[in-house]
A and B are shown apart, each in its own frame.
Chain A
Amino acid sequence: MSEATGLRQPKKASADLFRKLGVEPVPDNEKVQEAIRHLDDFRFRVRSFVMAMESCVKCGACAEACHTYLGTRDPNNIPAGRVDLIRKAYKRYFTVQGQLFPGLVGAQDLDLETIEKWYSYFYQCSECRRCAHVCPFGIDTAEVTFIARQILYWLGIAPQLHAATAEAILRTGNHMGLTKAGIEDTLEFLAEEIEEDYDGLKVEFPVDKPNSDILYVPSSADFMLNPNTLKGAAMFFKYVGANWTISSEITEAGNFGYLSDQSRIQREMVTRLFREATKLGVKKIVWGECGHGWRAAKMYPPTVSDLPGVKRIPITHIHDEVEAYIKAGRLELDPKRNDRKVTLHDPCNYARACGHSDNMRVIMNAVVPKGAFVEMKPSREANFCCGGGSGILFDDPDMYQFRILASNKKAEQVRETGADTLCAPCSICKAQLYPMVKEHKLPVEVVGLIDLVGHALVFRD
């Protein structure tokens, strides 16, 4: 718990860090007014926000749908309750009934205490959209979380993790702050590993190669945490003989801007992406394994950027391409190499925002032996979040404890499958599931999907 507020809150970024990001933190005595001004602005701009504010009937169907509520049993973590933290002020200032009868309709003046609650609870929401999937109206709580986090950011309130990542993005174009030298170093090492592990197979990892046809955008976390995902992608490109490259300017499939500052950092990432794609002359951008980042890259560029490249250079996910090659019968795969009992965790953004439920299964069934793949219950678009969605991967003891609580449901699901391998093709899921598996004592190895593809590819040259 935060000592100052008694709420579960991640460590806040300092004022100095915010200034580096171009945001002057708003003094406490002006925060409330400023927040109201921003709310007033959003209600004339974003319809998904207004409908979430004005359509809820408080039926409670969302409660049992939210893994955060299931893990914490805190009424403010019921999606409708969480949104109410903003809705109470919205009603108070922007509706007739809230101005006339605040007590009756549950309207409330905004105060600093509530803003602290926003910070606590909108950073416990993982923007997984399971509530939108379950809500009879389709009210999307993630839309409110986006706006709450944006307003907090403008006030100068954000987790250290998100602000530091934003700063790394501005500096290097990736979350981990990797430099070109570091990137090349790691990739060289991975190429050697592949050569050793796969009978002298020579795989190249081109970086910033001009006149490439394909720009592959991996998650920067893959360089540290999930190297097998990078290897799998490189082996696939090698197999199909693609003229591909990684850009050191945008070595990032994720987009933390999308999760805390959509107004600037998210745009910055999109701008960088198309600047680099244009510079390298690529004909197609292929995305690596990252859930929120893939949603930000697939669904948002046309509406966050008016750069000409956005309309001209198509973006697909590496799963899309692998699936198409498998369906066309163009890949020789040996499922026996992945002889293990594997289950698939559908990353929220893939399943509920990007339409990937099918392609992940086409790939999975082609790379593991028949009968080795067990479905979780529920799965696909009804799947539960890993508990780390939207980058709430905080390490301070209190928040770490929360992450483990928020993954209770996931642990239960995984245990029921009896699998020994948990495939989670998303960087945030992986980063959340490594510790989750340990804390919940699950006897599973966490892997990516492309890892399994690379491992099963049969090279005959």
Chain B
Amino acid sequence: MDLIIGQILPYTAAVVFIGGVTWRIWRWMIPRIVHNITLSPWPASWSAAIVWILWQFATFWNLLKFDRPLWAGAWFMHIALFLMLGGHIAAFYTVGLQFHLMAPGIITPEMSLALSDWIGTVLGLIFLVALLYLLGRRLVNEQVRNISSASDFLHLFLLIGIAALGNIMRLFPDYHLGYAPVREYLAGLFLFNPQPLPDHTLFIMKYTLVMTLMIVFPFSKLMHSFGFFWERWIVNRPYKEPARGLPGARLQLRK
């Protein structure tokens, strides 16, 4: 058990995830952008195009503009997800002292731990609620249900499972697991110095689900996180207009 879930699966998941994502992007790079199919009004320059793409990325602008109910679920879910990913890395690496290390004179180690707890708790709840909302939408909204396949629901269940387990460990002291034992175990993985899995059922369950997600990721629509940039790079690009004016005409634009 410890060997399979604690030692073999993590490396497998990492290889499949990194290798799979690289392979998918590699394949996207083979076909060419044949014609300029930019959407007008187009950006004035490449830098304006990049700013627009990043703006779309950060705000989910199109959803905000055209489908506000979807935006409310999708944007909060993704923002919470991104912040929590960053939070997990920072908190496990610094054992919850990340805020103290950022501003040592102002924030004490105790305050940092409390902040980490609070922010994590709030984001975790937002994440779970947003996911349930999106699941509900997919079930209730006939148009969306019509175009969904089983995998669309399974991805949501997987994320809901991870979110729910995380929230239980966070909210119920009986199931809590501190940063230190996890850090010790993960450090072992990164340094190829195997350490036993923390003896904590919920943690092992959540950890297995996360690794499953990593393995599924390159073979699923979850690749949209990268696909976003590849698609927008095609449809949001500058175009240079030819000069105006009719050569040879009696009446010219300038007298």
Contacts and interface: CB of A to CB of B under 8 A. Distances in A.
A61 B150 contact: no
Nearest to A50: B31
B22 interface: no
A299 B28 CA distance: 23
Interface in B206-255: 219-221, 223-224, 227-228, 230-232, 234-236, 239, 241-254
Interface in A44-87: 44-52, 54-61, 63-65, 75, 78, 80-81, 84
A352 interface: yes
Interface stretch (A313-321, A363-371, A425-433): A313-321
A459 interface: no
A226 B220 CA distance: 50
B150 A104 contact: yes
A283 interface: yes
A138 B227 contact: no
A85 B66 CA distance: 25
B201 interface: no
Contacts of A58: 144, 147-149, 152, 221
Nearest to A82: B147
A357 B74 contact: no
Contact of B41 (A42, A320, A381): A381
Contacts of B35: 299-300, 303-304
Interface stretch (B55-63, B117-125, B174-182): B55-63
A114 to B, nearest CB: 16
B193 interface: no
A78 B231 contact: no
B220 A316 contact: no
B83 interface: no
A320 B242 CA distance: 10
Interface size class of A (residues with CB under 8 A): 35 or more
A60 B249 contact: no
Contact of B231 (A51, A133, A213, A315): A51
Interface in B50-93: 56, 60, 62-63, 66-67, 70, 74
**Quick one: which of B38, B231, B234, B242 has the most chain A CB within 10 A?**
B231
Nearest to B253: A328
A261 interface: no
A13 interface: no
Interface in A128-144: 129, 132-140, 143
Given A78-B143, A314-B242, A357-B40, A240 B251 contact: yes
B39 A314 contact: no
Interface string A236-266: 0001111110000000000000000000000
A61 B253 contact: no
A137 B31 contact: no
A138 to B, nearest CB: 4
Contacts of B235: 48, 132, 138, 140
B143 A55 contact: no
A158 interface: no
Nearest to A211: B248
Nearest to A320: B244
A65 B66 contact: yes
Contacts of A80: 147
Given A60-B144, A61-B66, A357 B41 contact: yes
Given A45-B31, A240-B251, A381 B154 contact: no
A96 interface: yes
Contacts of A450: none
B200 interface: no
Contact of B31 (A49, A59, A78, A381): A49
A138 B249 contact: no
B34 interface: yes
Contacts of B39: 129, 132-133, 138, 140, 352-353, 381
A234 interface: no
Given A80-B147, A106-B149, A138-B232, A43 B31 contact: yes
A48 B223 contact: no
B145 to A, nearest CB: 9
B133 interface: no
B23 to A, nearest CB: 10
Given A50-B28, A354-B40, A97 B219 contact: yes
A97 B27 CA distance: 16
Contact of A57 (B224, B230, B242): B224
Contacts of A81: 146-147
B70 A61 contact: yes
Contacts of A61: 62-63, 66-67, 70
B155 to A, nearest CB: 9
A325 B151 contact: no
B62 A46 contact: no
Contact of A330 (B66, B152, B251): B251
Contact of B32 (A47, A283, A324): A47
A374 interface: no
Contacts of A381: 39-41
B3 interface: no
A303 B33 CA distance: 10
Contacts of B36: 299, 302-303
B30 interface: yes
A54 B248 contact: no
Given A283-B247, A316-B244, A136 B34 contact: no
A112 interface: no
What are the 6 A-B residue pairs with the smallest beta carbon separation, nearest first? A241-B250, A106-B149, A213-B248, A55-B227, A324-B244, A60-B144
28 contacts: A45-B34, A46-B34, A50-B27, A54-B24, A55-B227, A55-B228, A55-B231, A58-B152, A60-B141, A60-B143, A61-B62, A64-B66, A64-B143, A78-B143, A97-B219, A136-B228, A137-B232, A140-B37, A143-B37, A213-B246, A242-B250, A299-B37, A303-B36, A324-B253, A325-B251, A328-B253, A355-B40, A355-B239
Interface of A: 42-52, 54-61, 63-65, 75, 78, 80-81, 84, 95-97, 101, 103-106, 129, 132-140, 143, 213-214, 239-244, 283-284, 286, 299-300, 302-304, 314-316, 320-321, 323-325, 328, 330, 351-357, 381
Given A55-B223, A61-B67, A105-B149, 16 more contacts: A50-B27, A56-B224, A59-B63, A75-B143, A97-B220, A104-B150, A104-B151, A133-B39, A133-B62, A137-B227, A213-B246, A213-B249, A240-B250, A321-B245, A325-B253, A328-B254
